[in-house]
């Protein structure tokens, strides 16, 4: 399935693997704030929201530049600054109170890197190989992430400084690979002009990014549903390490680390199968099923308080995560105007990311009022609403005869 792809896609996949391996600090950020710095759950939630919100100004600054200039240069510069921020956290670890502020600065640079990175991924793919390529990017990231949290779970208790130093060093390595193996492939004026004249789901649109988004009202609705959905996911992700510590005491961080690795391993094993099952099928149907798997996983967390049920909950929503990632970015990329890829990425990140940003803040407040199980029941109701809304959106696509897959790739009616 992943054979005969362009060399640049394999290079980007390797970079994703390295970034996934190095991204072992964020899963432990909540525990770092509560156990090392003494934050309450609400304070940790507020900080997590602020850290996610820092992606917005960063991405706004870089997105227009990425559509007009070199995506690669912007990605290299911002990712280097992001990695240096993590190295600074490790170097100044003896001054613990400084670390949250350095992290905030680093996340500003990471947010600035995202639009260029996403646009670069889309530029190096086409309708024919995009689903396979995007799944490879996701697969390679999770393959790396499968090793990271298990190592981080051990570092957290004994060598916490290396949570930051390790992430910074690995980020620098990934940036070096991008510098020497990836080239810019931004659409030129001729490609954009030809695209406008074609009836493609990603055809270019003249005018501002807001005009481009308004020309795709169903995509805007889809993004809003995702924003609500990712709010619920973010709330659970924020609470999971706290729940592990609540259930398993001192063993909680290590168990959580290994379960996050189990999450990644599950994703790595199942993603190729999901790609085969999803190919040339109604993408929204696959996304609805992914929401259902998340719902089942969250309910496992809500009804159980022993390790085996905790594991079943994590694995089940890992299956939902894999199916969602295999189709979500693919759907959005195929409906994004060719000349607005970086700016669209930013706008989508702001709308969807707003939900993700508020998750920790609301989660921290809820956990001071309700039990973990009650919170997971609340989350389940939100996910159920998203399932109903996405099912209706799928119906409107089919009713109006609009393609859910790009027309060049659709070989059968969208009735499944």
Q: Show the 3-state SS of 301-322.
A: HHHCCCHHHHHHHHHHHHHHHH
pLDDT for 414 equals 38
pLDDT for 94 equals 86
pLDDT for 198 equals 56
pLDDT for 416 equals 33
Long-range contacts of 367-374 (CB under 8 A, 24+ apart): 367/41, 367/42, 367/45, 367/239, 367/242, 368/40, 368/41, 368/42, 372/239, 372/242, 372/243, 372/246, 372/301, 373/301, 373/302, 373/303, 373/305
pLDDT for 408 equals 42
3-state secondary structure of 335: coil
pLDDT for 409 equals 44
When computed from its CA atoms, the radius of gyration of the chain, rounded to whole angstroms, is 21
pTM of the model: 0.67
pLDDT tens per residue across all 416 residues of the chain = 677 788 888 988 898 888 877 776 666 777 788 888 888 888 887 887 787 777 777 777 777 677 677 788 888 999 999 999 989 999 998 888 888 889 888 888 888 888 788 888 888 887 677 778 888 888 888 777 767 766 777 777 778 888 889 888 988 998 999 898 888 776 655 555 555 555 555 555 555 666 667 777 888 888 889 889 989 998 888 888 888 888 887 777 778 777 777 777 777 778 777 777 766 567 888 899 999 999 999 998 888 677 888 888 888 888 898 888 778 877 877 777 665 666 666 777 777 667 777 888 888 889 888 988 899 999 999 999 999 999 999 988 888 766 555 544 443 333 33
How far is 34 from 12, CA to CA, in rounded Å? 35
Q: Please report where in the chains the tokens 């646009």 appear, as a residue.
A: 119
Other CB atoms within 10 A of residue 13 CB: 21
Q: Please report where in the chains the tokens 């850290």 appear, as a residue.
A: 51
Q: How many helices (H) and strands (E) does the chain have?
A: 16, 0
pLDDT for 65 equals 74
pLDDT for 415 equals 35
pLDDT for 410 equals 41
pLDDT for 187 equals 62
Q: What are phi and psi of 366, to 5 degrees?
A: -65, -40
How far is 70 from 151, CA to CA, in rounded Å? 35
The answer to whether 238 and 362 are in contact (CB under 8 A) is no
pLDDT for 368 equals 87
């Amino acid at each position: 399935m992943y054979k005969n792809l362009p060399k640049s896609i394999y290079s980007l996949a390797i970079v994703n693997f390295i970034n996934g391996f190095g991204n072992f600090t964020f899963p432990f950020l909540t525990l770092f704030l509560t156990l090392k710095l003494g934050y309450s759950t609400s304070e940790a939630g507020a900080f997590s929201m602020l850290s996610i919100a820092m992606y917005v100004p960063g991405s706004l600054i870089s997105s227009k530049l990425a559509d007009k200039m070199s995506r690669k240069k912007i990605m290299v510069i911002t990712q280097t600054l992001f990695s240096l921020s993590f190295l600074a956290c490790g170097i100044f670890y003896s001054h613990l109170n400084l670390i949250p502020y350095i992290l905030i600065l680093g996340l500003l640079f990471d947010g600035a890197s995202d639009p260029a990175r996403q646009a670069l991924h889309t530029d190096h793919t086409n309708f024919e190989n995009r689903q396979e390529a995007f799944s490879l990017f996701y697969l390679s990231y999770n393959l790396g992430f499968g090793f990271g949290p298990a190592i981080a779970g051990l570092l957290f208790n004994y060598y916490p400084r290396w949570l930051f130093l390790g992430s910074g060093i690995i980020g620098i390595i990934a940036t070096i690979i991008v510098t020497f193996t990836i080239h810019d492939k931004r659409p030129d004026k001729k490609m954009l002009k030809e695209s406008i004249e074609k009836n493609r789901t990603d055809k270019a649109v003249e005018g501002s990014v807001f005009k481009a988004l308004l020309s795709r009202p169903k995509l805007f609705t889809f993004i809003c549903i995702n924003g609500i959905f990712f709010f619920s996911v973010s709330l659970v992700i924020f609470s999971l390490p706290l729940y592990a510590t609540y259930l398993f005491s001192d063993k909680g961080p290590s168990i959580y680390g290994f379960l996050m690795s189990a999450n990644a391993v599950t994703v790595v094993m199942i993603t190729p199968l999901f790609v085969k099952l999803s190919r040339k099928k109604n993408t929204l149907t696959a996304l609805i099923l992914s929401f259902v798997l998340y719902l089942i996983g969250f309910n496992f967390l809500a009804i159980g308080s022993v390790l085996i049920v905790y594991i079943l909950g994590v694995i089940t929503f890992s299956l939902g995560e894999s199916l969602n990632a295999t189709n979500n970015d693919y759907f959005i990329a195929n409906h994004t105007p060719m000349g607005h890829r970086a700016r669209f990425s930013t706008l989508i990140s702001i709308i969807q990311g707003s939900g993700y940003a508020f998750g920790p803040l609301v989660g921290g407040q809820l956990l001071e009022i309700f039990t973990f199980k009650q919170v997971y029941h609340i989350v389940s109701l939100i996910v159920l609403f998203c399932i109903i809304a996405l099912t209706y959106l799928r119906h409107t696509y089919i009713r109006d005869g609009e393609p859910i897959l790009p027309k060049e790739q659709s070989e059968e009616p969208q009735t499944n």
